[in-house]
Each structure stands twice: as structure tokens, then as C-alpha cells.
Amino acid sequence: MKLAENIKTAAAGAVCGLANGFFGSGGGIIAVPLLEQNGMEIKKAHATSLAITLPMSLVSAAIYYAKGNLDLPQTIAFLPGGLAGAAAGAAIMKKISPVMLKRLFGAVMIYFGVRMLVF
């Protein structure tokens, strides 16, 4: 049983990594529901997703940079606001209920999914 579980986890990681490299940090969107399906509470799933996404994002960014597909000045310009937003988001997540977090996450996924399909 342990081998089957390890294969399932590795396959889920591969799907997250593929999405991350293809969509640009999209692996987290896939990781959260997969972690929840495996019985992890939602707040822990979101935090774990971040820990999973960070190394995948670094690898993806290095490959994009090596191929000349990374706009470094734009990246640097986004970092201060992005870091502040990440800190604020982590602080806010501690204060909201798991149900509200799940609803917000779902709403954001639906909004951007529809937006990408329509525009």
C-alpha cells in the first residue's frame, strides 16, 4: 500500500510541477485540492502548497531565464508589492475561517477561469 501511495503522491507532484512550469506558479492551484483530497485541512493545504510551489517556481524561473523568456526588470518591479502582499495574505489567512478560505479560493479560481476563457 505504501508504494501505491508514493506513486500517487509523485504523480500529483509531477502534475503540479507541469502546471507550475507551463502556467507560471499554477502548480499551487492544483496542489491545494490534491492536498485536501488526501485529508489535509485547508489552511495547512494552502501553506503546504506554498512550500511546494517555491522550489518549483525557482526551477521554472531559472529555465525561463536561461531561454531568454524572463523579464528581469519587470520581475524586480513586482517583488516589493508581491512580498508585502504575501505577508499580508498569510496574516489574514490566520484570522479567517476555513470555510471562508475555501469559498474565497473557489471564487478566485472561478473568476480568473472565466476571465481567461472570455478575454
Residue 1 confidence (pLDDT): 64
pLDDT tens across the length of the chain (119 residues)? 688 888 988 998 898 888 888 887 778 888 999 899 989 999 999 999 989 888 998 999 999 999 999 999 999 999 999 999 999 999 999 999 999 999 999 999 899 889 989 98
Residue 67 confidence (pLDDT): 95
Residue 63: CB atoms within 10 A of its CB come to 12
Q: What's the number of domains the chain is made of?
A: 1
Domain membership of residue 34 as a residue range: 2-118
Using CA atoms, how far residue 12 sits from 4, 9, 24, 48, 55, in Å, is: 12, 5, 17, 14, 15
